[in-house]
Structure 1
């Protein structure tokens, strides 16, 4: 096993250069007070350890959002699933916290509570193996959505994955996981057949629906273990053709655009399984130098052009531009600006907090109010002028047919979230961003008339309650708490959207 830099003390004073932990010089030249060298013989030959003075450390430990990011003292890349178990056992023996990394976009402020310890980076566990019978695939814990999509597509298969190519497959799935195909098949978590999971005590277990832990892992899984691989259901590709209409509107069309979406796509919760509505508000100075524009997508499966019944009502509103495209499922991320090469997939040192809320439909008056507040806050030279508002309108038929999981919000039709992007510049700016994000979400929540806010855990800011993330029903909270006390009584997994205190 190779080390990117050796250790002088747990305080990470640097002394040594890159070499093998089994190199005969280790004992003669390098201080041993940290005892990290004890980890080496316990791991496979493919495992890697990086310390802060290595060139790789800043890249491997970087987060997509720099706001209250965790601060690991070492990065370990396991080479096998068994390595993950050994790392957790080692961390427990040394009384060190640990946190798993496996992609991008996890931005909760609760992650910042990890101020030292071991980052377990699953990047090397990225295999995707299709079973011989072609009905399931085994996906490694570090595989990105793009990896899963491409491997399956090449074999004439597909499954529900996250929409953004740079997120991991499992990260979203442990929180439920929305995707383009959910109208047919349900959430990412609904595809899981079994999983290998490292528990808080370092044991590596294979679990399935016969385990009491299965319910929690499918919706609140970040609180209970590290999934090193999962067996998931896959499907034959039914339709190779997909089409999209990309329409851009000026801000004065907010009411008309979202009324059309309610009337012609959402249709009181009966949005067809083959149609998706998706939109952004963001500044595009070349189009409108004064206000954010509305970029509205209508996506349809199984066609070469979007059905006129869906697109013509929007054409009638007078868009600033309209562009039809045709292609396949593998084009969707690029069409919507979330492919692996796109700006939202880059780790640039920006803060990227989001403030999610589930909605049943677009409240037209609230859409206008929230647009005006957003536009005032992000126009011109505002430090938040690269922010955007996301509106994700997936079909939900497949989601509503499943119920045996910790994911609570199966009847919601829209996932909405302002994303406040800015360069960090002290606590005052952080507070301003948080105030803006909460205010925008509060406008939308008040318009629902519901007492409880419902928020998507994978987009959460970090201020949300356990009830807001996992459902307010008492039986849900009691069940989560019971399982937490059983499987993680010391709260080892408590950095990412923690459930109620144990």
Structure 2
């Protein structure tokens, strides 16, 4: 039977009918992954199976192909957020061994007009991913690694490398780079949407660190792009729309400060207005927050601490010290927090302090839905913060399906980000000082609950937007829910939309990369 199956595949005659015939002849027959792949692709109108098989045979021996109803497939496709209608569905998961394999896979998919989607950390939660309703996932997990070059001034990072791997590799060599803050996310995922990080006050966004990149574009070509390419602008802020990055060379820097410190203050909800007024006055300082200071906060329900409503956990993080300067902490202690906790360590401890290390909740895939509703702001509006706290409290009460939700407020240093000309990148919102995002967590069940979550998240976002006094919303693409406009995600200037459209028509006229926040 194995000889018969091999002959059938080699002759490119594998089909659903062939599978059914073999099953009748051999009740124990199970198709191999590649046979399953051919079976799936044979359903595509006009697919030339002979051409598919010719290309598939060229894939490296270490390439892994997984198909549904196996534990390997489930592990390779499980996602962090599972909003109904917003989760991509794939028939086959392929983990290429080399960047040439990525190129070949795109050509295979193009040959059969089969959709494909690159998978990395699988933390992308934007609901436009749900438009991927069949096809191939290209899992980049095997493309992981870091090599330092350029006399220690640059590093080449493979496209499937996660942030923790990069941080640890560089740290061991006495180096650092701007990476995402959450340890388990991929390096490239946040970077393609701009990418915020602890060190951005010094050096700019993650995307600002790019020196060159290798990218498989929609035509199946492996291109090396840098500042002399028109694709360079798009890669830095709208990169999800233009290809699969197989490696990127980035700027790296010597470690200047090994010491970092944090003060964690916890408050009841009645302190919200005074707390965020103090954050404006003593930390943000009209957009001039010191380069060594970061303010973060979470709102969440912790009934043993306060059964009446969400608590506010407020962090003041400082670089280069063993204790946060009292000039920053004293005004917040004066507000009467429930508790004050101080920690000291290194840069590698910061993510664990704020609960986003490898063993933290955001790094666990539990089957929950975790949509976010982000909004950039110039500063906190204390009265709007008090209003949105009450709405969050009401919407996450103990009987609500959203009781485990979280409200996130990220206040990074911005000097390095603002030092880059905003027109030089597809990332548009360099003048904003705060990133806010309610994360509406719930157990997915039905479309009505998904709609309720969407309405709740937008209610919270709209309160903050109204308090900003702005007519236009500024949205962080990497947190986007999926109902935002292109202008809200990529910038409201008409020239930005025109440039994205021109580049999309040039490099992806068939819109093969159109699942993650389509730009044009």
Where 1:455 maps in the other structure, the secondary structure is: coil
Deviation at 1:447, TM superposition (A): 1.1
1:344 aligns with 2:352: no
2:443 paired with 1:423: yes
Residue pair 2:41, 2:114 contacting (<8 A) in 1 also: no
Counterpart residue number, 1:157: 175
Query: After superposition, where does 1:13-24 map in structure 2 within 5 Å?
Result: 17=30
Which one of 443, 452, 456 corresponds to residue 432 of structure 1?
Answer: 452
Shift of the 311–201 alpha-carbon distance from structure 1 to 2, 3 Å rule, reads same
Partner of 1:219: 237
Separation in 2 of the partners of 1:217 and 1:75?
A: 25
Shift of the alpha carbon at 1:105?
2.3
Question: In the alignment, which residue of structure 1 is the partner of 2:57?
Answer: 41
Aligned position for 1:50? 66
| Structure 1 gap ranges (5+) | 1-5
2:508: which partner in 1? 488
Give SS of 1:42's match.
Answer: coil
Cα distance in 2 for residues equivalent to 1:273 and 1:18? 58
SS in 1 for 2:183: coil
Mapped to 2, the partners of 1:413 and 1:319 lie a distance apart of: 25
Native 8 Å contact 2:261 2:345 kept in 1: yes
Determine the structure 1 residue equivalent to 2:151.
133
What pairs with 1:85-164 in structure 2 (closer than 5 Å)?
85-131=103-149, 133-164=151-182
Is 1:251 aligned with 2:259? no
CA distance in 1: counterparts of 2:104 and 2:373, whole angstroms:
36
How many residue pairs get aligned? The number is 489
Point out the structure with the larger helix share: 2
- C-alpha deviations, 1:468-490, integer Å up to 9, x for none? 00100011111111000000001
SS in 2 for 1:123: helix
Is the CA contact 2:90–2:134 (under 8 Å) kept in the aligned structure 1?
yes
- Residues 354-376 of structure 1 show CA distances to partners (whole Å, capped at 9, x for unaligned) of 00000010001100010000000
Shift in CA distance, 129/376, structure 1 to aligned 2, threshold 3 Å:
same
1:141–1:170 contact (8 Å) kept in structure 2:
yes
Q: How far apart are residue 290 of structure 1 and its match?
A: 2.2
Match of 2:3 in 1: none
Shift of 1:54: 2.0
The 3 A distance-change label for structure 1 pair 10 and 377 is farther
SS at match of 1:56: helix
Give, in angstroms, the shift of residue 31 of structure 1. Answer: 11
Residue 3 (structure 1) aligns with: none
1:224·1:487 contact (CA, 8 Å) conserved in 2? yes
- Structure 2 unaligned regions, length at least 5: 1-8, 44-48
Q: TM-score, normalised by structure 2?
A: 0.91
Shift of 1:104: 3.7
When normalised by structure 1's length, the TM-score is 0.94
* TM-superposition CA deviations, 1:397-438 (whole Å, max 9, x none): 000111211100001000000000000110110011000000
Contact 2:117 2:137 in 1 (8 A): yes
Contact 1:290–1:380, Cα closer than 8 Å, also in 2: no
Secondary structure, counterpart of 2:518 in structure 1: coil
Deviation at 1:309, TM superposition (A): 0.8
CA distance 1:191–1:385, change in 2 (3 Å): same
Question: How many angstroms does 1:63 deviate by?
Answer: 1.2
Name the counterpart of 1:185: 203
- How far the C-alpha of 1:94 sits from its partner, in A, is 1.0
Taking a change above 3 Å as real, the CA distance of residues 12 and 164 of structure 1, as seen in their structure-2 partners, is farther
Does the aligned pair in 1 maintain the 2:95–2:141 contact within 8 Å? Answer: yes
Q: Which is higher, the Rg of structure 1 or of structure 2?
A: 2
Partner of 2:432 in structure 1? 412
State whether structure 2 residue 217 is matched by structure 1 residue 206.
no
